[in-house]
Amino acid sequence: MEFSVAMHDASLTPQRIDHLLSALESTTMIVAGDTMIDEYFWGDVQRISPEAPVPVVEVESVSRRLGGAANVVQNLARLGVHAQLISLCGDDANGTELARMLDGIGCGTGGLFRSTTRPTTIKTRIIARHQQVVRADREMIRDCDDIESSELLEGFNTYIADSDGVILSDYGKGVVSPLLISSIVDACITRKKFVAIDPKDRHIHLYKNVSVITPNLKEAHILAGVPFRHCSDEEIKNLGWHIVESYNLQYLLVTLSERGMALFSAADHLFIHLPTVAQKVFDVTGAGDTVITVFTALMAAGAEPYEAAFIANHAAGITVAQLGTVSVSPQELRDACLK
């Protein structure tokens, strides 16, 4: 049976939203994936360079934020969830700063391992008058070696027993290896833990039997093995059910940009389209992290699928209205859901 979004709104009372958000404080999550630092140069443009036809950005301030899997951890921490990161960084000054930033949000660094063969990933964005001018990436993309994979799995096994759920944040940098995916998914199935994956195309054949995958529409086409194109609502439904069946998923949550989200639930063959609630869009950076964070944490805390998707949709609306990677507080979420 299929339902529209309107038929569910009445069940999400202020009391129910408060209960779900409060439940996050007693929830524990593991985040495994590619970690990075997002660096921002903020400034203004008054002239064009005499050296080349490019704008000269007069930098007024510089800031650094947790990125990638570390941004997922920060999102969880802001919600009150106890989060543990399993990842690699470089044995360098940026790795030291990354560990310090994680300590600052109350995330333990026991699962953050130092690599002597790769640097800490830094993504530098130059922003002028709320507009990104250019991005520069400093990174090494390669799969983990056997020693690194063993360290990551040992770290994961240390924390899994006390965790309510796991998020695999795959940015395609090499931390999320085939061995890590298969080992984590198998462990979560055996222990009946909720496991979510933010997908990358190179590993799509390994995403079977997980609790939820949260692709955007382009990634959904890749998962389905069909060329990407604009879809009608009916085509999105068909695409989603094909993915659910092909990958034996419990849930599928497809983000549709300005069209909102589409939730698929296998057990009751439930499809729900949630229209976007974003009033304005400045920056979609980190929006996918926000969606998988809020949805997975709420499911691990006992929410119904629609409730988790409804609140995650509002969280995404808050995120895209701000520049850069940002996290959302429970009070911001409550206010947004009750508007």
Catalytic (active-site) positions: 289
Q: Are 50 and 56 in contact (CB under 8 A)?
A: no
**Distance between terminal CA atoms of the chain?**
29
The 3-state secondary structure of 217-239 reads HHHHHHHHCCCCCCCCHHHHHHH
Residue by residue, DSSP assigns 63-118 as EEEEEEHHHHHHHHHHHT-EEEEEEEEESSHHHHHHHHHHHHTT-B-TTEEEESSS
Give CA–CA dist 306/263, Å, rounded.
Answer: 8
Closest by CA to 147, choosing from 118, 176, 115, is: 115
101: nearest Cα among 122, 132, 118:
122
Distances 77 to 31, 80, 208, 332 between C-alpha atoms, Å: 11, 5, 28, 14
Question: How are beta strands 35-48 and 112-115 bridged, if at all?
Answer: unpaired
Radius of gyration for the alpha carbons in the chain, expressed in angstroms and rounded: 20
